Chain A
Amino acid sequence: MDTTTFIIEKGTIIVVVFAITMLMAMYSTWAERKVAAFLQDRVGPNRAGWGGLLQPLADGLKLFTKEEFFPNTPNKFLFILGPGIAMSTALITSAVIPWGDKFHIFGKDVVLQATDLDVSILYIFGVLSIGVYGIMIGAWASNNKYSLMSAVRASSQMISYEVAMGLAIISILMMTGSLSLKEITIQQAEMKWNIFYQPLAFVIFLVCSFAETNRTPFDLAECESELIGGYHTEYSSMKMGFYLFAEYANMFISATILSVVFLGGYNYPGMEWAEQNWGVNIANIIAIAVLFAKICFFIFFYMWIRWTIPRFRYDQLMNLGWKILIPLAVLNIILTGIVMVLFN
């Protein structure tokens, strides 16, 4: 493969993935409001466009045209850097997600993945950890004690839950023997989904992903009653929009990771059959649709939980993370090891 086609191919995939991530994040805000409304017997936004479908555009336009306000902060650069880091870490995670197997275009195979790192999971965890900096730096540069409090909460919460998350993933890695998301997906073909083999790891990972994305019931960083607006109190205009947007982009990414690692990614029963009878391209279009159905389910699940469970208290959050989830994850590793030794 020569360099030009390689760059074009990967460039196209990167642009498309970027566009889709943005689009999903945008419409997650719409979906959030719709789901919230429906769960509370209301109708939600329905004025801008059919069913309020143009609402995200209107929101974006509003945020862009709002006054840009800077607090009396000693470091303007960090103040601007904060939302930038939050947004870019939310976006670059999608580089290693396998969206489908491959397309067969112009007589050659196009792999539907920006890059197949053999350490994909480590990469994702690394980027997730950097995400804390976006919140921490932005809030600190705000020169506001409420923002700082919120950032302290957010970072300690994310760091604590990363431990349990990593331990939960280890039991998966023991089974798959690979850190590559592509490899993990291929191993889950024909309904051999990891959720059936590792239900406990799935539950731990799910709970941790709520904490990692700062979503209810663990949205202590945005606890309005205690902290005004949370870490983005001092932000206005699109910088504020970036923080809110990054939250939804994060939600999309973690829903994707959940579906790829535990729900078999783009696999669906009968994929092989479809590939042989209908051709690679159609089989993979279905595969992408299946992956997005799984992702949408998880995004809906995030919202469903948000409007069901009230916020945790901070000590409850820490108790759950350190005293329950981490021991459970360790137990799960031990159990996985025992089962693997006994049955293999």
Chain B
Amino acid sequence: MAVEQISLSGRKKVVSNKEMTFIEKIYLLTILKGLWITLKHLFRRKVTIKYPEEIREMSPVYRGQHMLMRDDEGRERCTACGLCALSCPAEAITMKAEERKPEEKHLYREEKYASIYEINMLRCIFCGLCEEACPKEAIFLTKSKKIANADYSREDFIFGKDKLVMPLEMAINNTKSNTAN
């Protein structure tokens, strides 16, 4: 077989420059064919999701905004090991570790905690590798449909602990429902 005709993928096509037949040249029949195709689309099911009334069903593995978790006693789980930052392919996470003082035992679970924990939402690609890397089950990507809101300045997209840490009421509710079970 000649080299030109070999097709390893089996999808090779030779460009054809064939002359139009008479029927194609008068164009009317081909227009009718086209009209038939568009007419079929007229009665097809519409793909639009009417947003405020209908909300698109999210995938079960959907990953939304991050949350720094608290444990059953409401203490922050994060120990500022930096594995999430290390695993982050987008270099979105930075943190600063601090040693826990004795009187802060009710606030942080481990002896070391993150005094500053920042995720740059403009860099984050929501891949979930931080979640996988975390040995303390401290960071999770929630199913919240709220991703980062539109804003005017880049600084506002760097989310600190104020936006990331799980709200206390939520932790209390979680503990309540866990103990009830």
A residues sitting closer than 8 Å to B (CB atoms) are: 35, 38-43, 46, 203, 304-305, 307-309
B15 at interface, CB cutoff 8 A: no
Q: Chain A residues with Cβ under 8 A from B34's Cβ? A: 308-309
A38-B35 Cα distance, complex, nearest whole Å? 14
Contact B42 A38 (CB under 8 A): yes
Please name the 3 residue pairs, one residue from A and one from B, whose CB atoms are nearest each other, closest first. A308-B38, A308-B34, A43-B48
Contact A41 B35 (CB under 8 A): no
B31 at interface, CB cutoff 8 A: yes
Point out the residue from B31, B39, B42, B45 that lies within 8 Å of A309, measured CB to CB.
Answer: B31
Contact B31 A308 (CB under 8 A): yes
B47 at interface, CB cutoff 8 A: yes
B28 at interface, CB cutoff 8 A: yes
Q: Chain B residues with Cβ under 8 A from A40's Cβ? A: 41
Contact A42 B47 (CB under 8 A): yes
Chain B interface SS verdict (over half): helix
A200 to chain B: closest CB distance in Å?
Answer: 11
Q: Chain A residues with Cβ under 8 A from B39's Cβ? A: 304
> How many residues of chain B have a CB within 8 Å of chain A?
15
B46 at interface, CB cutoff 8 A: yes
A42-B45 Cα distance, complex, nearest whole Å? 9
A sample of 18 more A-B contacts (CB under 8 A), given A43-B50, A307-B38, is A38-B41, A38-B46, A39-B38, A39-B41, A39-B42, A41-B44, A41-B45, A42-B46, A42-B48, A43-B46, A46-B50, A304-B35, A304-B39, A305-B35, A308-B31, A308-B34, A308-B35, A308-B37
B151 to chain A: closest CB distance in Å?
Answer: 27
A-B contact pairs, 17 of them (CB 8 A): A35-B42, A39-B42, A41-B41, A41-B46, A42-B47, A42-B48, A43-B46, A43-B50, A46-B50, A203-B28, A305-B31, A305-B35, A308-B34, A308-B35, A308-B37, A308-B38, A309-B34
Q: Chain A residues with Cβ under 8 A from B37's Cβ? A: 308
Contact A304 B38 (CB under 8 A): yes
Q: Chain B residues with Cβ under 8 A from A43's Cβ? A: 46, 48, 50
Q: Chain B residues with Cβ under 8 A from A46's Cβ? A: 50
A308-B32 Cα distance, complex, nearest whole Å? 10
Identify the closest chain B residue to A207 (Cβ).
B28
A45-B42 Cα distance, complex, nearest whole Å? 15
Identify the closest chain B residue to A320 (Cβ).
B27
